[in-house]
Structure 1
Amino acid sequence: MSDARGVADPRAKAEGDASAGSDLGRRVAALRSDHGLTVDELAERVGSSPEYIHYVENHPAAPGIGFVTRVADALGSSPAELAGADLDQPPGRAPAARDADLVRLSEHDCRDLVGSHGIGRIGRTDRDGLPVVVPVNYVVTPDGHPAFRTAAGTVVAGAAGETVAFEVDRIDEVTRTGWSVLFVGEAREVYGPAEQQRLDAHSPNSPWAGGPREQWVVLTPKRVTGRLIHRPA
């Protein structure tokens, strides 16, 4: 699916990620594309069949170390890199894709990508006038407002009454694509028990930080913007 500019619909991409092959297969496909090789050409280099290369790229597979080593050699990589041994490193260490471009997203697409809940980053100015950014679990209320369950005295709790920024992103290190969405607006603390109960019921899980977190902060967005790093299919 694509829009009038020929750019793949980011919502379709986000939905398709769950059904894609394994990370190993996606890394093989991305590196093969970077080297300008067809499936047949890679199969010839590694002494395999095109059908098996296609299967590895598009299905969860567990090929032997000999096959992985031959593929890595053919693609100028290493078995460790293909297996994702660098997952504990910050994203963005790979070179930029040659055919990538940056696309601005509509507010509708931004909201679709952010979905109903996840982890993002909230940014505000602290009492010393210095910027501070922290990761936070979020849910999106039925009226489209990001909400955060927190505790008194935290950075998020201190955002109540301030204009803040809230960012959500998804980086695909394999394909060197991704998207980011930014909400800007005023945060408020939720005081009414009825609204607190609705938010509790709407939240699918507890904050990863753990501990008692009974306070809710809701962001009323004044601006929603986003960008997508796109590679033509």
Structure 2
Amino acid sequence: MSTVSDRGRAAGRPGDAEPPPGPAMSRQEALDLLASVPVGRVVFSHRALPAIRPVNHLLDGDEVIIRTHCGAALLGPAGQGAVVAYEADALDPVRRTGWSVVVTGVAAPVTDPERLRRYHHTLRPWVGGAMAHAIRISTDVVTGFRIGRPLAQPDTSIRCVPTTASSRSASSDGEPGAAV
């Protein structure tokens, strides 16, 4: 289990991910930040398509714990030990700062009655209905980065001009898209 950062990868190769927009953080810092917020998003495959669900969570050791109801789409993949992602963040749109943490790991149902009882009392879902199931997500890969750019004064000399169908078709010199 290690912290992964895309920094240092050569850009431009097929399959290479973009580097994160800010400095990468340590695994422990990322997990501490994840534990500091109550809500995130679980990402999994449902009927061969990506599915994302906002859920509240808690961190128990090196596992992300979420509760779910009978019939939840995530129960099938979790029962099969699917690899999922879990993302949480805190963003300040005014200051343009924040952080994002993504955990990738195996989802599995929690079956231990004592753990289920404990999660029932400590993890209160935000949605109504009976939440009889808990799912644990291992923290096999943990990535995190901070976002922080100083506020800049807007450049009022730059204006965005919407394009129209006629401006996209051709310029006066016949070059497609040259008239902008």
Q: Calculate the TM-score normalised by the size of structure 2.
A: 0.66
Q: Distance in 2 between matches of 1:210 and 1:182?
A: 26
Of 114, 123, 146, which aligns to 1:228? 146
**Cα deviations by residue, 1:153-204 (Å, 9 ceiling, x for unpaired):** 113323312100000011101101111000000011012212212322433x
Of 48, 65, 70, which aligns to 1:147? 65
Of 185, 188, 200, which aligns to 2:108? 188
Q: Greater relative contact order: 1 or 2 (C-alpha under 8 angstroms, separation 6 or more)?
A: 2
Q: CA deviation at 1:120?
A: 0.3
Of 85, 98, 104, which aligns to 1:165? 85
Q: Distance in 2 between matches of 1:229 and 1:119?
A: 19
Of 103, 119, 123, which aligns to 2:39? 119
With over 3 angstroms needed to count, the CA separation of the structure-2 counterparts of 1:124 and 1:152, relative to structure 1, is same
| Aligned amino acid, residue 130 of structure 2 | P
Q: Is the 8 A contact 2:85 2:104 kept in 1?
A: yes
Q: Is the 8 A contact 1:190 1:216 kept in 2?
A: yes
Q: Distance in 2 between matches of 1:158 and 1:110?
A: 28
Q: CA deviation at 1:231?
A: 3.7
The structure whose residues are more often strand, as a share, is 2
Q: Is the 8 A contact 1:148 1:218 kept in 2?
A: yes
Q: Is the 8 A contact 2:110 2:116 kept in 1?
A: yes
Q: CA deviation at 1:232?
A: 6.4
**Alignment coverage as a number of residue pairs:** 129
Q: Distance in 2 between matches of 1:131 and 1:164?
A: 10
Q: Distance in 1 between matches of 2:52 and 2:134?
A: 18
Q: Is the 8 A contact 1:117 1:140 kept in 2?
A: no
Aligned to 1:134: 53
Q: CA deviation at 1:130?
A: 0.7
Q: Is the 8 A contact 1:169 1:178 kept in 2?
A: yes
Unmatched runs of 5 consecutive residues or more in structure 2: 1-20, 152-180
Unmatched runs of 5 consecutive residues or more in structure 1: 1-100
- % identity of equivalent residues: 34
| Aligned amino acid, residue 154 of structure 1 | A
Q: Is the 8 A contact 2:96 2:148 kept in 1?
A: no
